[in-house]
A = this chain, B = another copy of it.
């Protein structure tokens, strides 16, 4: 499987069904795991998909509706029982502390790790987390309460060294780092060997954008323009457009229209309303507008 992929743990909406679980996803970049949203049942889905609990360090919560965060207390308890010691970072809109503090106080006395809350300003498109390999940005959305999507932007990887050339010029180890980052090499005789002759370019860095929950909101397009993969909610069909507007959700057509305008690589739609027995009707509506549309499904693993 691709080094950078998305695992769908749940893609239902608020009302429980036997077809879908509440929202949660894992962004996996070379076995480093980031979670987006954590609806009720997320930890069981992790078990089902054999996702390693100890590889998870960052959880991003889009908004404080129950179907996007009621799995957090159970997951935190489980991480404690599994003996986790490293900090767990939760990036979420304000009020997360008001929600989690009573739970931690009542249920997690003596938790062997720290839960660190990072309050996200959902009104700004801004960098909210950065590590060696990934940058994560907030994307303001238009929902009933403060909500944001997330853009996961892989950092440009270093170039690959051409081992034969390194050996040929007998380049000392101490120069290799700089060369991977683009430097030329000057031999002891003063000959300059251009970087291009010493390296092969890295694969292009990829980007994934998650936008749920939101009404049709073209203001997000600049932030997600050209991403390799876009997850956009498609709670309703066009036939229920009035209901979509009223509840600040999108239709499948609207999700596809966003994907088309943003010129993304692929679109995956989810957050399906419990009212539709067959999700294919949603795909049928989106595909004429944006051909490369995939229906999210629990257990699915999508390369970015």
Contacts and interface: CB of A to CB of B under 8 A. Distances in A.
Contacts of A48: 18
Given A64-B107, A74-B66, A16 B40 contact: no
Interface stretch (A95-103, A153-161, A194-202, A214-222): A95-103
Contact of A44 (B41, B73, B74, B82): B41
A16 B107 contact: no
B14 A65 contact: no
A15 interface: yes
A186 to B, nearest CB: 58
A187 interface: no
Interface in A26-79: 40-41, 43-44, 46-48, 64-67, 70-71, 73-74, 77-78
B95 A106 contact: yes
User: Which of A67, A74, A101 has the most C-beta atoms of chain B within 10 angstroms of its own C-beta?
Assistant: A74
Nearest to A14: B81
A44 B39 CA distance: 12
Given A40-B40, A40-B71, A15 B78 contact: yes
A43 B15 CA distance: 9
Interface majority SS (helix, strand, loop, mixed), chain A: helix
Given A17-B44, A65-B107, A70-B73, 16 more contacts: A14-B78, A15-B81, A15-B82, A16-B46, A16-B78, A22-B74, A40-B40, A40-B71, A40-B74, A41-B41, A70-B74, A98-B102, A98-B106, A99-B106, A99-B107, A102-B102
Interface of A: 14-18, 21-22, 40-41, 43-44, 46-48, 64-67, 70-71, 73-74, 77-78, 81-82, 95, 98-99, 101-103, 106-107
28 contacts: A14-B77, A14-B78, A14-B81, A15-B78, A15-B81, A15-B82, A16-B46, A16-B47, A16-B78, A17-B47, A18-B44, A18-B48, A21-B44, A40-B40, A40-B41, A40-B43, A40-B44, A40-B71, A41-B41, A64-B106, A64-B107, A70-B70, A70-B73, A70-B74, A70-B77, A98-B102, A101-B102, A102-B102
